[in-house]
Amino acid sequence: MTETIASEKVVALTASAVGEVKALLTKPENAGKHMRFYVEQGGCSGMQYGMTFDEQRDGDIVSAHDGVMVLVDAISADFLRGTVVDFSDALTAGGFKISNPNAKESCGCGKSFNA
């Protein structure tokens, strides 16, 4: 499969998020994979975010972020366009934080939204 890089970044990663993804990619189980962001039905607000390490599939929108390849499927792209992903290593409320301009409302946990 030929890897093409999209001129549009559906999901943007902050420097902190790039650093954390790079660290996670060093784990043996993630070797040769890329970061995938997606949405699916579920959560307390109707749609929920997902992140996983995965291989590129046909139809994926692929973008590069300081050496990190990000994959988004075409359906999820409609919900995620303009999203910024950050990472915090704070002891309380740490982890990946998703800021999605398409979310009309989000739940308190920040893991689901309503478009």
In a domain, 114, yes or no: no
Regarding pTM above 0.85, the answer is no
Q: Which ranges of the chain does DSSP label H, i.e. alpha helix?
A: 15-25, 74-80
In a domain, 27, yes or no: yes
- Backbone dihedral angles phi then psi of residue 68, each to the nearest 5 degrees: -100, 125
pLDDT digits (tens, 9 = 90+) for 18-76: 999 999 999 999 999 999 999 987 655 577 889 999 999 999 999 999 999 999 999 99
- pLDDT, residue 43, reads 58
- Backbone dihedral angles phi then psi of residue 41, each to the nearest 5 degrees: -65, 140
- Indicate the number of domains in the chain: 1
- 84: closest CA among 65, 57, 59? 65
- 46: closest CA among 85, 103, 101? 103
- pLDDT, residue 19, reads 96
In a domain, 6, yes or no: no
CB 25 within 8 A of CB 6: no
In a domain, 54, yes or no: yes
- CATH number of domain containing 32: 2.60.300.12
The model's confidence at residue 93, banded by pLDDT at 50, 70 and 90, is confident
